[in-house]
Structure 1
């Protein structure tokens, strides 16, 4: 195991535990992946993100063949489909977080833009959110649905299932997933209200200032 693999395994375990302890995923739900130059690291199937052993994290070839660690999540194909359409991104986080999953159950939302522009941070972290049609967990058609929207969306809600986000690195993907959950919470809290939304001009400014400076987002958002 090379040094970079070891560091990434530790990061996956750290962020998995952090998200679990803060209630962003429960039981054995959720999975995390990082695409490497020569393959993947992926959380194992039926594992709890709150007590990951870095040595158990699956090491896969580019085509998904297990090299070491435990068997990977059965939803590996979702991660693969997502990053196939996003060549500059390297990490994916899929959760069953409460508020984002609740939004994924709502009818009559725009499937190409589920959440309104409530805060600048949602624009800076993940932008527009897509909603894919429902298929049972493990159904390969979920990967097909992801492939349709992934090129233009780094954040997706799987209908009646949960959120999945991609980003340039693991830390950015985790922060995006967390921001998505907070935005979904705000959206639900404001149901029946008439919130002040960011204007198209304000959204365009955020996209212009931060869209091509992704490396600086974490510094600017905090």
Structure 2
């Protein structure tokens, strides 16, 4: 697991979606959660930068865990079958997170089939300061199903059934945010309800927002 996290951190940094010392990753195995340490540079991530916490967030070993541990725990709580969580401050996601959401259920419209099938609806979680435990409470308590969210004025978070799954969702979400910004103000064509239903049914993602 540690080697996977280290490799994933390098991959995110190489993709340009984890600038500086921002962003954090975690993997879960039962009640054991491995998470990057606070202030870790994902591009230079080492095994020594990985902390271990319990399912309740109790620090067990390694460096001090990321201050966003509450968000990671919240994603696992709402998606029990998921074993990995990715939180990054990718630039296009941060930009969209500074704008009004497309709807109450999703900050982004269903622009591409890849967004719908790999990510699904992505709500905008209200702003709380980075590291505020209440941010985890807001993520855990959101009424709709989701595997990805934008954190207002902050960044994005995704979870998945594997680390690669969560990474794929994070990269796709950043790309969808980029497309949303490129098409902003031009009344882009979105996927129709039937196409959304087919994609979510086949790929296990969620979309409760009516096409409009």
TM over 0.5: yes
- When normalised by structure 2's length, the TM-score is 0.92
Aligned to 2:210: none
Distance 2:76 2:130 in 1: 19
Q: 1:148 aligns with which of 136, 141, 149?
A: 141
In the TM superposition, 1:1-222 aligns within 5 A as 8-107=1-100, 109-149=102-142, 152-211=145-204
- When normalised by structure 1's length, the TM-score is 0.88
More helix by share: 1
Distance 1:169 1:100 in 2: 22
Aligned to 2:208: none
Distance 2:11 2:127 in 1: 29
Distance 2:73 2:18 in 1: 21
Q: Secondary structure at the match of 2:157?
A: strand
Give the drift of 1:151: 5.7
Q: CA offsets per residue over residues 56-101 of structure 1, 9 Å max, x none?
A: 3112223323332211101101111121111111111000000011
Q: How many residues align?
A: 205
- Is the CA contact (8 Å cut-off) linking 2:40 and 2:49 kept in structure 1? no
Q: Secondary structure at the match of 2:123?
A: strand
Distance 2:127 2:55 in 1: 28
Structure 1 stretches of 4+ moved >4 Å: none
Give the drift of 1:150: 7.3
Give the drift of 1:141: 1.4
Judge which range, 171-180 or 57-66, deviates more: 57-66
Give the drift of 1:14: 0.8
Distance 2:101 2:37 in 1: 35
RMSD: 1.5
The change in CA–CA distance for 1:33 and 1:180 in structure 2 (over 3 A counts) is same
- Is the CA contact (8 Å cut-off) linking 1:81 and 1:143 kept in structure 2? yes
Q: Which runs of 5+ in 1 are unaligned?
A: 1-7, 213-222
Distance 1:18 1:150 in 2: 32
- Is the CA contact (8 Å cut-off) linking 1:26 and 1:96 kept in structure 2? yes
The change in CA–CA distance for 1:46 and 1:192 in structure 2 (over 3 A counts) is same
